[in-house]
Amino acid sequence: MRILGIESSCDETGVAIYDDAQGLVSHALHSQIAMHAEYGGVVPELASRDHIKRVIPLVNKVLNDSDTKMSDLCAIAYTRGPGLIGALMVGAMAARSLAYALDIPAVGVHHMEGHLLAPMLEDNPPSFPFVALLVSGGHTMLIKVMQPGLYELLGQSVDDAAGEAFDKTAKLLGLAYPGGPALEKMAQKGDPKAYHFPRPMLDRPNCDFSFAGLKTAVLNATMQTGNIDEHKYNIARCFSDAVVDTLKAKCTRALDMSGLNRLVVAGGVSANIAIRNALDEMMQKRGGEAFFARREFCTDNGAMIALAGMLRFKAGDVQDNLELDVVPRWPLTELKAL
């Protein structure tokens, strides 16, 4: 069986085909970064209009690349939420229209469940149960995952997510949008002892995150040092180290609380090499194992939606009616267990 997955929650249009026997057989992605860079962030109306232009050509591309006919598809999966409502509507309308025309089910997928399951696309997928760290521009969450759909929230960001902190710090350092990847490169040249930035909420007996205070500390440092490259490199490095230390400490607490020793790390910020290396080393020292999606599947993509959609399709969690509904705000814990 083959399923088509469509991702359109924010500023990437992703389409993929997943086969339940062969795995991922085709995927394509269009990023809107260049378009939004002029404005220093995502412009929702522009994002929606660009999704409209891209989605059907990308559908045709993945079908051709995988030698798949429309009649070969068992279902159409799409990102139902959370995300920008206009962007979500584009993917939902395309998916529901195709499903209706082909007389097959549509499957509404939770965007964060897609990220959480993305490491399942790798040759060495994690087995259940595990603790998942979802770390992206909009979310920083620790979740106990017993099985697909059965999620217990252990902790989350109470203000800025880690990805927001990266982008805002990059902007303070004069880096162009999106600043996270550029800040990662800059940090490699910095002195880790130049500054001591706070590791927020480590004294709290929970797994919640807060990065607003760290961002303020970076702001104060940039105001004091001025526009000098050496200081920027040092600030970037010390900021990065503070985020890494915070994530390590909270993951350790979540693993101890849950009694588990498998850690899945997903979301856009999980592409950061310093974070990947630190969490991988931490798990090796614990005698456990860390699992990551390949870097191209850390950001939004159709492959993760197709995979999650296949799991839900096979469990019977499908939409056969014509109601078009998207959920811009959708707690992960509200999903049905499979």
Residues at the binding site for substrate are: 134-138, 167, 180, 184, 272
SS (H, E, C) the chain: CEEEEEECCCCEEEEEEEECCCEEEEEEEEECHHHHHCCCCCCHHHHHHHHHHHHHHHHHHHHHHCCCCHHHEEEEEEEEECCCHHHHHHHHHHHHHHHHHHCCCEEEEEHHHHHHHHHHHCCCCCCCCEEEEEECCCCEEEEEEEECCEEEEEEEECCCCHHHHHHHHHHHCCCCCCHHHHHHHHHCCCCCCCCCCCCCCCCCCCCCECCHHHHHHHHHHHHHHCCCHHHHHHHHHHHHHHHHHHHHHHHHHHHHHHCCCEEEEECHHHHCHHHHHHHHHHHHHHCCEEEECCHHHCCCCHHHHHHHHHHHHHCCCCECCCCCCCCCCCCHHHCCCC
Instruction: Pick out the residues of the known binding site for Fe cation.
Output: 111, 115, 300
The binding site consists of 111, 115, 134-138, 167, 180, 184, 272, 300
Rg (CA), the chain: 20
Q: Is the peptide bond before 82 cis (omega within 30 degrees of 0)?
A: yes
